[in-house]
Amino acid sequence: MPTYKVTFVRVGRNHNVPPATITARTDDQFADALLAIARKHCGSRFLEVSWSFEERRGFFLAGVRIAGDFAIKEVPSPPVGEHGPELVSLPAGAQVLPAAAGGAA
């Protein structure tokens, strides 16, 4: 599964959005992760994302206006643990809750 480091130049009016590491199997998963981050910084409900892995960059649209841009860099995928791939990429501010003792995650 490919993993990418996304460095944001701007999202909405925010020029200080921290970089994100995104691991995704499909373009839709990659887009969903990017849009989750953008929604925290843009007031528009009509967000779209466009990118090119070949050009290593992309941008957000809010209606007809560019609402941000970012650079993309492929990085080594996270290690595969004994229980399968460990997905380590979460949108900024996400919380991971511990599994109940003795229960399945």
Kindly report, residue by residue over 9-27, the tens digit of the pLDDT.
999 999 999 999 999 989 9
38 part of a folded domain: yes
| Predicted local confidence at residue 63, as pLDDT | 87
Kindly report, residue by residue over 55-91, the tens digit of the pLDDT.
999 999 998 899 999 999 999 876 665 444 445 555 5
61 part of a folded domain: yes
93 part of a folded domain: no
Distance CA 12, CA 75 (A): 26
What the block records as the tokens of 61 is: 């649209």
Q: Residue 9 sits in which domain range? A: 3-77
Tally of structural domains, the chain: 1
| Reported pTM | 0.71
86 part of a folded domain: no
**Those residues with Cβ within 8 angstroms of residue 40's Cβ, 6 or more apart along the chain or in another chain:** 11, 91, 92, 93
**Those residues with Cβ within 8 angstroms of residue 7's Cβ, 6 or more apart along the chain or in another chain:** 19, 70, 71, 73
82 part of a folded domain: no
